[in-house]
Amino acid sequence: MSATNNEKAENTTQLLNGFSNGDADAAARLIPIVYQELRQIAEHRMSRERPDHTLQPTALVNEVYLQLFNEGIEYRDRGHFFAVAARVMRRLLVDHSRRLKAERRQGGRIKIPIDEVLDSTQEARQDFVALNDALSDFERLHPRASQVVEMRFFGGFQLEEIADALGISLTTVKRDWEFAQVWLYSQLQSQNCISVALIRTD
């Protein structure tokens, strides 16, 4: 992490600590900073979805923001805050995907373009449920590597940022990320699940 990024992380951490201690000035300065970062994460995450996806970045970031600041969590530092944000974003995306699947099974009137039906990649981009189920299994066996996936995929963290947030080496993060990709790909492929495209972040 560069010196500028270090200063930014330290500043955010100080503001989070002030916010947790009831400092109104810290809260006022913190809100626009974290909201902008959350929006960037949401836009990055949703940029891989169809333009007509029913959950848009603004709605996603607003819901994430509300949950992060309404659950009474005391955030240790910037890394902890955005790790929690990644977990919240994962939950929201999976819940949204489950609702869509339920509505389709019940005959809800959801327009599905014909090119989406023909293009398995488009369908795979939506299927957060399959990835979430596989990741939950993976988490029981490899909790740290699972957190790397969650922060990388759902939180939009760079590998260097994950290493800093988790207090582990970049080499360890890279190893966890590569191992997790292989494991998740194998699991999803064995189920003939087209969601294998989900674990790609490029």
Instruction: Answer for the pair 168, 151: CB distance below 8 angstroms, yes or no.
Output: no
Write out the two tokens for 46.
């949703």
Taking only the tens place, the pLDDT of each residue in 18-57 is: 888 888 888 889 888 888 888 877 776 666 555 545 567 7
Q: How far is CA 59 from CA 56, 116, 154, in A?
A: 5, 23, 16
Which tokens go with 199? 């674990």
pLDDT digits (tens, 9 = 90+) for 130-176: 888 889 999 999 999 999 999 988 887 889 989 988 889 999 999 99
> Structure tokens of 30?
């913190």
